């Protein structure tokens, strides 16, 4: 599986936008870019995924570079409940279920 690189930690002020970067220079053409987050003492939670185009959902936006070698997860207004470890993961497209390989992620701290 292609690897991703994320900063170990980031801080944000409450109600301000947060941009979480991810580098994936060895991404292949069939890799989807997934983002999950893990709140303390809970299982990971799906946030968003994309292939080539930018994506928006109720939780966040995903901006994908034109060459797909990097992406940015955007939380438009951070709340204290957004404090979590955010994982950027490349997932090979597959017709059958396939495991996710987690890296170390980015610990997001939201300051009141």
Partner 1 sequence: GAVVSQHPSWVICKSGTSVKIECRSLDFQATTMFWYRQFPKQSLMLMATSNEGSKATYEQGVEKDKFLINHASLTLSTLTVTSAHPEDSSFYICSARGFEGRGAGANVLTFGAGSRLTVL
CA neighbor of 79 nearest in space, from 21, 12, 22, 19 = 12
DSSP 3-state assignment of 82? Answer: helix
What is the size of the binding site for partner 1 (CB under 8 A)? 28
- Cβ–Cβ contacts within 10 Å for residue 68, how many? 18
CA neighbor of 73 nearest in space, from 7, 28, 15, 25 = 7
95 scored as a contact of partner 1 (CB under 8 A):
yes
Tell me, residue by residue from 27 to 66, as one string, x for binding to partner 1 by CB under 8 A and - for no binding.
-----x-x-x-x--xxxxxx--x-x---------------
User: Which residues are bridge partners to 84 per DSSP?
Assistant: 108
Q: Which is nearer to partner 1, 1 or 74 (CB)?
A: 1
Q: Smallest distance from the beta carbon of 13 to partner 1, in angstroms?
A: 25
Residues lying near partner 1 in the complex (CB under 8 A) are found at 32, 34, 36, 38, 41-46, 49, 51, 87, 91-105
């Amino acid at each position: 599986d292609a690897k991703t690189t994320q900063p170990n930690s980031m801080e944000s002020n409450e109600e301000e936008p947060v941009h979480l970067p991810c580098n994936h220079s060895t991404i292949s053409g069939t890799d989807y870019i997934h983002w999950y987050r893990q709140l303390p003492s809970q299982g990971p939670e799906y946030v968003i995924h994309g292939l080539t185009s930018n994506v928006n959902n109720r939780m966040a936006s995903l901006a994908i570079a034109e060459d797909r070698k990097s992406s940015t997860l955007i939380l438009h207004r951070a709340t204290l409940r957004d404090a979590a470890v955010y994982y950027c993961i490349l997932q090979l497209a597959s017709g059958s279920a396939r495991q996710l390989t987690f890296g170390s992620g980015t610990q997001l701290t939201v300051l009141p």
